[in-house]
Structure 1
Amino acid sequence: MSDMSGASGAPKSLEQRLKAFEGRSAAVAGVGKDPVNRPMIRHWCEAMGDTNPAYLGPDAIAPPTMLQAWTMGGLSGHTGRTEAYDELLALLDEQGCTAVVATDCEQEYFRPLRPGDEITFDSVIESVSDRKTTKLGTGYFVTTRMEVRVGEHLAGTHRFRILKYAPAHRPERKPPPRPVTRPRPVVNRDNAGFWDGVRQHRLLIQRCTACASLRFPWLPGCNACGCPEWDTIEASGEGTVFSYVVLHHPPFPAFAPPYAVALIELAEGVRMISNVVGVPYDKVRIGQPVRLEFQQHDEELVLPAFRAGGEAA
């Protein structure tokens, strides 16, 4: 257990006790539960929609961003975990910081990982912040730094940060007044061109200028060849219902369940999520032809939707 008194015998302050954990090991000689393997690489790439050929075939490498995946302990926990990290979390629990949220991570890559590589790792408690007040509550940021190796070779580092905090008291929320506007899409530098097109009643699809692959949703680079250069084509508006779900619960402001949310396969070959309108929610079917229309929800918001059984409105 950590020492609770200083050299003079006086009790240490909480900040001193927390800072004493900096530099202590959080995991020693941890071993990955599985070697790097093609099935996990395939699952990762399918989930991310990443078709980079570097991750396929006999000379495949693992996507660099999978670095942490090979060290994860699953339901049974990590191997090599030390008492120091558990002691630190217990000390924060004693201070009422019983909630935790992951805030961010940083990775560096030094060599590619290949199927068959056996992973080992060590982790150190790099820093414990001063007491911070956030919208979630008041607590401490704890940063650990992990070194991932294959044999004696450093493959990468993974810096992971959590906030251990005492949840802030939140006053009871009153139901929002009606009418409630639809939530706004998140617009950033990677997808701003798409939303500019929507405001002009045009559905734009990215096209790689190197390999001509089409992609949706919009991305900063081609997931087929990696080229960062692109232009756009305008969708014809024709499509079919590839899959769908009917949302019954929970209700959200500005939405009136039940309603159908569909994965639409456009005639150009890409797929996008949107609403199906023009038919009752229980009449939506896989393979159903639909056509694009643009719906004006308020003075500012225009969204694409797909109408079944008729021409675009």
Structure 2
Amino acid sequence: MPSPVPGTEAVPGTEAGRDDVYARLKAYEGRVAGAGGVGKDLVNEPMIRHWCEAMGDTNPAYTGADAIAPPTMLQAWTMGGLSGHGGRSAAYLELLGLLDDAGYTSVVATDCEQEYLRPLRPGDRITFDAMIESVSERKTTGLGTGYFVTTRMEVRAGGEPAGTHRFRILKYAPAVRERAVVPPPRRPRPVVNRDNTGFWEGVSRHHLLIQRCEGCRTLRFPWLPGCNACGCLEWDTVEAAGGGTVYSYVVMHHPPFPAFDPPYAVVLVELAEGVRMISNVVGVPHDRVRIGMPVRLEFEWVDEELELPVFRAIEGSGG
């Protein structure tokens, strides 16, 4: 390839730079990717059995005195395992290095193709050689832009051609994507059902409604379909006056939940009517919440769609 005229050197990332990279990559086609490989194990019945069990393949041709190996195991007999086969050829490493230097630093295996020339049987010794068969033009994919590199492995059994295995990778520069604007997390939505719809309708009107049994007149909270004192299924409601005290509380530090900023206090408020409900205290830091602290009902929008009943500490009540 002629040397570029001074002042016209190809710059990576430009059209000229990409053409220069492609021309250099094409020069590796036909060169050795690996030579003189020898399978670490003879073709054997245990590996065939493990493969068939993993694949769920019950073909009787793979068992018995005349068993053959499943054809799709062709590559399995050439694999080097964790210790490998001693490395790739210098040409293949140079090719990958050229792509790295040009900015195509990511890699993904894309597909393989196999051709079968003779069945493999237990006892066969596998040998193989590989070459760089092709390098594609520059392609743009969903992952990014890069080049497909295909190697072709010729597999032999006992010195006779047994099959061909083509393996293709994509060496690419990851696509630059604009970071999506992630909306702030929202509080979990309350579960609204036929048993508590009336409570949430009251909240929407800034009324904190408490159920009252029509049989024994017992107040209950949270809302239930029947009275847990007498079992009566009939009920009406009374509106809470809004006063209460902190009956108990816990300060949450961990684990973190979306839309909550720890540490924060979760309180059990005893309303003036005698029932208790779980909520949050606002108006004081979490470390100033105390049992017996007087509070008053408020309604607070926690996001653009959800309004909840909360309790504000009465001024001067903090510890």
Output the TM-score relative to the length of structure 2. Answer: 0.51
Question: Are the aligned partners of 1:60 and 1:115 in contact in 2 as well (CA < 8 Å)?
Answer: yes
Unaligned runs of 5+ in 2: 11-19, 187-319
Instruction: Tell me the SS of whatever aligns to 1:108.
Output: strand
1:35 aligns to 2:42 (yes or no) = yes
User: Structure 1, residues 234-289: CA drift from partner, whole Å, max 9, x if none?
Assistant: xxxxxxxxxxxxxxxxxxxxxxxxxxxxxxxxxxxxxxxxxxxxxxxxxxxxxxxx
Whole-Å Cα distance in 1 between the matches of residues 76 and 175 of structure 2? 32
Q: Paired residue for 1:111?
A: 118
1:70 aligns to 2:77 (yes or no) = yes
Q: Paired residue for 2:67?
A: 60
**Identity within the alignment, %:** 75
What does 1:69-218 align with in structure 2 at a 5 Å threshold? 69-79=76-86, 81-173=88-180
C-alpha change, 1:39 and 1:31, in structure 2 (3 Å) is same
C-alpha change, 1:21 and 1:44, in structure 2 (3 Å) is same
Q: How many residues align?
A: 174
CA deviation after TM superposition for structure 1 residue 81, in Å: 2.8
CA deviation after TM superposition for structure 1 residue 34, in Å: 1.2
Note the aligned Cα RMSD (angstroms).
Answer: 2.3
Aligned residue type for 1:22: E
Whole-Å Cα distance in 1 between the matches of residues 27 and 72 of structure 2? 32
Aligned residue type for 1:29: G
Q: Paired residue for 1:299?
A: none
C-alpha change, 1:173 and 1:155, in structure 2 (3 Å) is same
CA deviation after TM superposition for structure 1 residue 172, in Å: 2.7
What does 1:288-303 align with in structure 2 at a 5 Å threshold? none
CA deviation after TM superposition for structure 1 residue 8, in Å: 5.3
CA deviation after TM superposition for structure 1 residue 39, in Å: 1.2
Whole-Å Cα distance in 1 between the matches of residues 26 and 147 of structure 2? 11
Q: Paired residue for 2:254?
A: none
CA deviation after TM superposition for structure 1 residue 19, in Å: 0.6
Question: Are the aligned partners of 1:28 and 1:80 in contact in 2 as well (CA < 8 Å)?
Answer: no
Question: Are the aligned partners of 2:21 and 2:102 in contact in 1 as well (CA < 8 Å)?
Answer: no
User: Structure 1, residues 18-75: CA drift from partner, whole Å, max 9, x if none?
Assistant: 0110000101111111111111111110110000011111211100000011111222
Whole-Å Cα distance in 1 between the matches of residues 115 and 140 of structure 2? 29
Question: Are the aligned partners of 1:124 and 1:146 in contact in 2 as well (CA < 8 Å)?
Answer: yes
CA deviation after TM superposition for structure 1 residue 14, in Å: 1.5
Q: Paired residue for 1:226?
A: none
- Larger of the two Rg values belongs to structure: 2
CA deviation after TM superposition for structure 1 residue 9, in Å: 7.6
CA deviation after TM superposition for structure 1 residue 161, in Å: 0.7
CA deviation after TM superposition for structure 1 residue 152, in Å: 2.6
Whole-Å Cα distance in 2 between the matches of residues 166 and 25 of structure 1? 25
Question: Are the aligned partners of 1:31 and 1:80 in contact in 2 as well (CA < 8 Å)?
Answer: no
CA deviation after TM superposition for structure 1 residue 95, in Å: 1.3
Whole-Å Cα distance in 2 between the matches of residues 137 and 95 of structure 1? 14
Aligned residue type for 1:140: Y
C-alpha change, 1:36 and 1:175, in structure 2 (3 Å) is farther
C-alpha change, 1:80 and 1:36, in structure 2 (3 Å) is farther
Q: Paired residue for 1:47?
A: 54
Q: Paired residue for 1:26?
A: 33
